[in-house]
């Protein structure tokens, strides 16, 4: 990867993506030796995280390096009013690269302007989550291939940062992207603008039913309770955009179902035992993919 910072999936070329995925495959099958015994990864998570944070920690340690963790926001200097710009400049002196999750969009980009070590965006509000996208692409490549692909992305497309990053990255491939959501949670105009600029085939739907038979991959995202004014409206939408075994009757036999997790009610656990379920494999892929990324950046 030629970039010092990993800020959005928009910066990824097809060649850069393939280089990361190839290296991830080498780490996954044990044909590439870990190195970077002296590398220290700084973890700055201003929002909760399980998979992203733990898989970065695992990746750094499996490479032979280590992590230092800012810890919870309420036990850091952030509670004293320290700016993000100051925080990253301080931790720059402790670590070889920074992994940043922050509630504000553009935070990773701003942070990158204040430090000279790589900044990796681990989620900036409703903006981007580019390393999730790399592991998503790795999972798609393993299960369906990245070209001649019909993918459906369903759920909260407005605030879902994994959706935005994946949509950008897939413009590098021969992919038709179907977006399925209630109108209130449709793709933001900024993302749609970029997809149109890229000339990628895009279709937006409010129902899964008619597009499902065409899909090779169905990427489901969680609809968040806090996006709705009342519990009843949330429940109605959440059930409409959830899937169970009955939903899949019309799906291709090799449909791959993905989810960035955590899930709540949107995928019935009965699907877990079917060959369609790839979401736990997807979460596990976070380690080799982040190993590959760190290996290239450090």
Partner 1 sequence: MTDSNSDNIDTDADHQLRVSKIQDGTVIDHVTGGQALTVLTILGIDGSGGEAVSIGMNVPSDRMGEKDIVKVEGRELSQEEVDVLSLVAPDATINIVREYDVIEKHRVERPTEVVGVFSCPNANCITTEREPVESRFSVLDDGVRCAYCGTLVREEFAAHIGGK
The CB density around residue 129, as the number of other CB atoms within 10 Å, is: 25
Exactly one of 5, 23, 52, 222 is catalytic; name it. Answer: 52
Check if the beta carbon of residue 66 is closer than 8 Å to that of residue 95: no
Q: Is 8 a catalytic residue?
A: no
Q: Is 247 a catalytic residue?
A: no
Least separation in angstroms between residue 6's CB and partner 1 is 16
Nearest to 243 by CA among 180, 150, 290: 180
Q: Is 80 a catalytic residue?
A: yes
Exactly one of 51, 252, 263, 284 is catalytic; name it. Answer: 51
Q: Is 52 a catalytic residue?
A: yes
Contact footprint for partner 1 (CB under 8 A): 83-85, 102-107, 109-110, 113, 124-127, 189-190, 193
Least separation in angstroms between residue 253's CB and partner 1 is 38
Nearer to partner 1, 71 or 103 (CB): 103
165's CB contacts (< 8 A; 6+ apart) are: 8, 9, 128, 129, 130, 132, 133
**CA separation (Å) from 196 to 19, 127, 147, 168?**
26, 18, 19, 11
Nearest to 166 by CA among 128, 211, 122, 192: 128
Nearer to partner 1, 105 or 239 (CB): 105
Q: Is 23 a catalytic residue?
A: no
Least separation in angstroms between residue 114's CB and partner 1 is 8
Least separation in angstroms between residue 187's CB and partner 1 is 13
Q: Known catalytic residues? A: 51-52, 80, 101, 129
């Amino acid at each position: 990867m030629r970039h010092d910072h990993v800020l959005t999936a928009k910066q990824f070329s097809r060649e850069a993506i393939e280089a990361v995925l190839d290296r991830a495959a080498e780490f996954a099958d044990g044909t590439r030796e870990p190195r970077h015994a002296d590398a220290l990864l700084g973890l700055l998570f201003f929002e909760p995280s399980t998979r992203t944070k733990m898989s970065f920690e695992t990746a750094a340690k499996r490479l032979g390096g280590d992590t230092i963790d800012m810890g919870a926001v309420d036990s850091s200097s952030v509670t004293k009013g320290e700016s993000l710009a100051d925080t990253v400049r301080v931790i720059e002196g402790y670590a070889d690269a920074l992994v940043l999750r922050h509630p504000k969009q553009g935070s990773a980009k701003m942070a990158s302007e204040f430090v000279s070590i790589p900044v990796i965006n681990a989620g900036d509000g409703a903006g981007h989550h580019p390393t999730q996208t790399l592991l998503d692409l790795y999972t798609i490549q393993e299960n369906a291939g990245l070209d001649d692909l019909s993918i459906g992305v369903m759920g909260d497309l407005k605030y879902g940062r994994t959706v935005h990053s994946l949509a950008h990255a897939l413009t590098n491939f021969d992919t038709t992207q179907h977006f399925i959501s209630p109108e209130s949670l449709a793709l933001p105009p900024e993302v749609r603008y970029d997809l149109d600029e890229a000339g990628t085939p895009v279709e937006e739907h409010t129902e899964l039913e008619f597009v499902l038979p065409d899909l090779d991959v169905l990427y489901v995202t969680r609809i968040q309770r806090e996006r709705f004014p009342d519990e009843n409206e949330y429940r109605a939408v959440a059930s409409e955009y959830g899937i169970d075994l009955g939903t899949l009757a019309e799906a291709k036999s090799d449909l791959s179902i993905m989810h960035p997790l955590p899930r709540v009610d949107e995928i019935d656990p009965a699907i877990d035992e079917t060959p369609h379920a790839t979401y736990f494999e997807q979460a596990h892929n976070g380690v080799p993919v982040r190993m590959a990324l760190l290996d290239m950046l450090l």
